[in-house]
Structure 1
Amino acid sequence: MKNGLEDVIAAETQLSDVDGEAGRLIIRGVSLDHLVADATYEGVAALLLDGLMERSFAEAQLRDWLAKARTGVFDHIKAADAALLALPPVDAMRALIARLPDGEDFDTALRLLAAPAVFLPAILRLQRGEKPIAPDASLPQAADILRMLTGKMPTREQTAALDAYLVTISDHGLNASTFASRVIASTQAGLTSSVLAALSALKGPLHGGAPGPVLDMLDAIGTAENAGPWLGAALDRGERLMGFGHRIYRVRDPRADALKGALKPLIASGQVDSARSALAEAVEAAALAILKARKPDRPLDVNVEFYTALLLETLGFPRQAFTGVFAIGRTVGWLAHAREQALDGRLIRPRSVYIGPLPAAA
């Protein structure tokens, strides 16, 4: 038995491979660096779902169908009453997704891919007293998300950056939320049920809740000159440095480099606060130096949350919505794993070891 099921093999998958020793992520036979360079959200979605649904399709077809699905789910925003809008964005989004029909078919999958992309921007606008913006079926998913969030057509660099983020976090092995989706799928409960279970796991701070606190840390540090002293004092207090270290990766998280690269066109075109980006670079350098000095036998490097925080802040998402944005990108991975598990047809039913008291002898 291993606590946390660490290193336990619980599934065979053709979807993604995470090599923590080499710092490598492969999705359907394609390395992450190639995917981020060439793929859009629709492209990686088509790649992940290929062969798992009842129909085959190309990226262009999926883009058209997904655009229509966004328009179709927008009507559910009417259910966002005051009680729902008082919830954190990810909880409000989950409540709206729970209203969608359940099933195993492709139309259900399309609704689930479209719903988070529509619901989150609408919820954020309603929570700040603004009117939701209807989807534009002529746009790809990333561009439409930003338009529905801000009310303005995004720049080419902004759309490319969000696409890169959605591609980067589309799938990542058998993490907690993905495992939850597979467990539910193994009961034949349906795709909506699987996504709701995964979303519930994602909101936990040990899984999907770290990008926002990275910004809190940057705010507290304030200046590049204060990075070293602040980080050292935090470690002296026994605090964790947000955005550093990962349970799987023993080297640098490849997703961190992908997102750092996605920020470069925004920085070059003046669409990122230069002081903010300089602070992030200084904090990264100082943290790596301090961690190496204090924990030489325990490799701790930048993880995906560090540059996720800067990228999503730059694109206009408030930090309380970061978990919801992650869900927009990861839903396709949850769906692919749910379908893969459902097609396997076997119920996931591990055993436990009883360590409680035994009955008294007669």
Structure 2
Amino acid sequence: MEVARGLEGVLFTESRMCFIDGEAGRLYYYGIPIQELAEKSTFEETTFLLLHGRLPKREELEAFKRELAVRRALPPHLLDSFRRYPTSAHPMSFLRTAVSELGMLDPTEADISREALYQKGLDLIAKFATIVAANKRLKEGKEPIPPREDLSHAANFLYMANGVEPSPEQERLMDAALILHAEHGFNASTFTAIAAFSTETDLYSAITAAVASLKGPRHGGANEAVMKMIREIGTPERAREWVQEKLSKKERIMGMGHRVYKAFDPRAGVLEKLARLVAETHGHSTEYQILKIVEEEAGKVLNPRGIYPNVDFYSGVVYSDLGFGLEFFTPIFAVARISGWVGHILEYKELDNRLLRPDAKYIGELDRPYVPLEARG
């Protein structure tokens, strides 16, 4: 049997949720192009789509928004725990631990019936934003801000994180960013969630595993690396020389290239427009200029090899403008991707929830003798 390194090209299930055409640079949620959702939809509506497989009617959407809004508040016990978490902890470690603790606080944790999973999923989707915002406030030496039920998911997240109600433009920026990150097929964290849930563990455990997977710099942490790259370059004037030096050493350009896409990542195209808006409106032109020069210079060598900007390339500039520091970029990713994780778990359970148990090609020796300790030298 041939070994599929990194499980590349291996089909282990069927799904209607997400289709990625890597050669043409296209992404669809339940058949709807991502560009249309990012331009016309909201995070709540897109989440309904991911959980139900269709867009909601007006009254369904209003009811769904209310369902999420009333679930935003955290248990007092959990907030007390937050104050005992080390302030030096990475926000993804904070989120991972908080999700695990939420499970312990749920007396119905072990119930994995379809309806129970759906209700717990709504709870986690609503609370992820509250957890991340509370962590940001505590890191700044401030008290967490209780959620508001009269704001959208994106606006409430920004309000809890920054202490002021966002402008309509800021709300729209966050909404679009969350939609773009909500789902992306069987990436590492989604596969991890499915692998864990296939054992019939509880939802909190499966999502905790997904958060742990997303924390890795080769997955969710890549957008942090892009902003570090911008800081290392420093000025637009230095960008071309920096890229040439990196490429001459055959080093990676962060935010360029994707395992699936051999064309421009469609999410990066939307985020580039948002980053341009941020640069033109709010004066963050230096970061944007550096990224455009890096994209152009690196593209001369990388584009012919099918390597283009991915979703992480421009997202950091948008998050920075919305008031978030570097270490909160990946948690924002999680605030969005929780919808995709829950949607895939619901779908996989309905299919058959077959236990995932891959194999490995054995390349070691057989029938080796046991050498007594005293004879091993």
In the alignment, residue 271 of structure 1 is paired with which amino acid?
A: H
Q: Distance in 2 between matches of 1:321 and 1:265?
A: 21
Which of 277, 284, 297 is the equivalent residue of 1:286? 297
Q: Which residue in the other structure is 1:46 paired with?
A: 48
User: 1:63: how far off?
Assistant: 1.1
Structure 1 residues 74 and 235, CA gap change in structure 2 (3 angstroms): farther
> Is 2:262 the partner of 1:250?
yes
Q: Please say which structure displays the higher CA radius of gyration.
A: 2
**Given that residues 278 and 284 in structure 2 are in contact (C-alpha distance below 8 angstroms), is that contact kept between their aligned partners in structure 1?**
no
Q: Tell me the alpha carbon deviations over residues 51-103 of structure 1, each in whole angstroms, 9 at most, x when there is no partner.
A: 69xxxx82222211111110245762221134443310110111111111334
- 2:313 matched to 1:306? yes
Q: Distance in 2 between matches of 1:151 and 1:159?
A: 14
Write the distance in 2 (CA, Å) between the matches of 1:230 and 1:265.
25
Does the Cα contact within 8 Å between 2:83 and 2:138 map onto a contact in 1? no
Identical residues among aligned pairs (%)? 35
In 2, Cα distance between equivalents of 1:359 and 1:309: 54
Aligned residue in 2 for 1:348: 356
Question: What CA distance in whole angstroms lies between the structure 1 residues aligned with 2:218 and 2:233?
Answer: 23
Contact 1:246 1:300 in 2 (8 A): yes
- Among 263, 273, 290, the alignment partner of 1:261 is 273
Whether the 8 Å contact between 1:232 and 1:290 is mirrored in structure 2 is no
Match of 1:233 in 2: 245
Alignment of structure 1 residues 101-250 onto 2, 5 Å: 101=106, 102=109, 103-104=111-112, 105=116, 106-250=118-262
TM-score normalised per structure 2: 0.89
* 1:339 and 2:346 aligned: yes
* Cα distance change of structure 1 residues 51 and 39 upon mapping to structure 2, 3 Å threshold: closer
Q: Say whether the 8 Å CA contact 1:40–1:164 is kept in structure 2.
A: yes
Residue aligning to 2:329: 322
Aligned Cα RMSD in Å? 2.0
Unaligned runs of 5+ in 2: 370-377
CA distance in 1, matches of 2:263, 2:231: 27
Q: Deviations over 1:205-247 (max 9, x none)?
A: 1111111111111112122221110111122233210111111
Distance apart, 1:204 and its partner CA = 1.1
Quick one: structure 1 residues 272 and 64, their matched pair in 2 at CA, closer, same or farther if it must change by over 3 Å? farther
Query: Displacement, 1:289?
Result: 2.5
After the TM superposition, list the runs of 4 or more consecutive aligned residues in structure 1 that deviate by more than 4 angstroms: 72-75
Aligned mates of 1:282, 1:109 — CA distance in 2? 42
Deviation of 1:158 after TM superposition, in Å, equals 0.8
Any idea what SS the aligned residue of 2:241 has?
A: helix
Q: What is the correspondence of 1:27-38 to structure 2 with a 5 Å cutoff?
A: 27-38=29-40
The 8 Å contact of residues 73 and 115 in structure 1, kept in 2 or not, is answered as no
Structure 2 partner of 1:70: 72
> 8 Å contact 2:189–2:211 — kept in the other structure?
yes
8 Å contact kept, 2:275–2:288: no
Tell me if the contact between 2:227 and 2:316 (Cα under 8 Å) persists in the aligned partners.
yes
Match of 2:7 among 5, 8, 11: 5
Q: Deviations over 1:307-339 (max 9, x none)?
A: 111111111111111111100000010001111
SS of the residue 2:19 aligns to: strand
